[in-house]
Each structure stands twice: as structure tokens, then as C-alpha cells.
Amino acid sequence: MTKHKILVLVFLVALTSFAMGQAYEHCDTKALKDTCKAYLDRPYKYDASNVILISFQKKAQLKEIELPMFIGETYKILFNTYALPPGVEINVYNKDADHEGRKMLFSCNSSGAQKVFIYETEHWHSKLYIDYVIPAAHGDNGATDNTGGSPDIQGCGVLVIGYK
């Protein structure tokens, strides 16, 4: 009887630990955006923002954001990587991913100690393309095999755009 109770308890504790280990920390997008906004000092004003959700897959992924720009306007783009898992690269280009010979204008990543990055545009481009390069799943970074159903989210990247 005692042995039986112990086995049941071990099973319950293991089950609870496993279940809670699968829970992920949500992205508090408001807090992440508020952190970015603190860097938008006057005369810059908030214009737009984006939240990109990260779920590792077996292959590397590219998520591209297209940002139109207006002639004569100066923009400040803030990247908050606090909630990104390490290894994610963020690159800004003047053309989309299908264009060979596109120019990289800015780059940062989520691996270092710095968590908020700022890019101030210097020249006009009709559009900017912001690429989040997500590495392939490895070891314990929580990859899914993407066989259907909702993928688990391992983190999020927030960007905030301000204009002058």
C-alpha cells in the first residue's frame, strides 16, 4: 500500500513538472513597446509597431516585414529583443528577400547583452524590409515538428517605428 502511494505521488509530480515545463512565458507586448517608446524622444512620435512570434522549426525561417517610407521623412526604428530567444538575427534592407544585390542597412541580434537597438534612417527608400532570421531548431530550444495544430511560441520580437 505504501509503495503504491509513493508510485502514484511520483507519477503526479512528474506529470505536473512536465506540464509546467511546457508552459511558455507570454510576450507582454505593452511593456515591450513601452520600453521602445522611452527611446522615442521628441520630436519623434509613434507611428506603427509590429510583434513577431517565434516558434522554432526544423529549418531556419525568414520573417519579413515591409515598411513603406515617405520622402523627406526621418524614421527611428526600435527593436526590442528582450523576449526573443538567443540566435535570432534582425536585418534591415532596401529591397525584399527576392532581390539579389539588395543592400543591408542595419543589423542586430538577440544573442548579446544589449536588448534594445535603434536604427535611424539616413536616406529615403520607398520601402524598408526588416528580416527576422530565425535559426533552425536544435537541442533544447523547444522545436516543434510542425505536424499540425498550433505551434508553441518560444518568444517574440517587438519593433516600434517613430517619425519626426
Partner 1 sequence: MTRNYFKALGFILGVGTLVLFSCHGNNSNSIPPGTGSDSTKSKNQVSAADQDSETYLLPSPLQIASIFKNSGLVYLPDLTAPIMDVSKYNSLYEQALNMGVYSADLSYCILNKQTDDALKYLKIVKSLSDKLGFGSVFESNSFMKRFEANMSSTDSLASLIADLQMETDTYLENNKQKYVGVIAFAGAWAESMHVGAKVYDKNKTDGVSSRISEQMNILGNLMKLLDKYKAADSHIAGLVDQLKVVQTAFAGFDEVKNYNEDSDKPVSLTPDHIAQLSALIEKVRSSFLAS
Among 90, 105, 137, 142, binds partner 1 (CB under 8 A): 142
User: What number of CA atoms fall less than 13 Å from residue 6's CA on the CB side?
Assistant: 3
Query: What is the distance, to the nearest Å, from the Cα of residue 32 to the centroid of all Cα atoms in its chain?
Result: 11
Taking the least distance from each CB to partner 1, the nearer of 72 and 100 is: 72
Q: Are 55 and 123 in contact (CB under 8 A)?
A: no
**CA distances for 5 relative to 12, 15, 130, angstroms:** 11, 15, 56
* Binders of partner 1 in range 24-63 (CB under 8 A): 24-33, 35, 37, 42, 45-53, 55, 61-63
CA 118 to CA 76: how far, in whole Å? 7
Q: Residues in the site for partner 1, rule: CB under 8 A?
A: 2, 5-6, 9-10, 13-14, 16-18, 20-21, 23-33, 35, 37, 42, 45-53, 55, 61-68, 70-73, 80, 82-83, 85-86, 115, 124, 126-127, 140-142, 150-155, 158, 160-161, 163
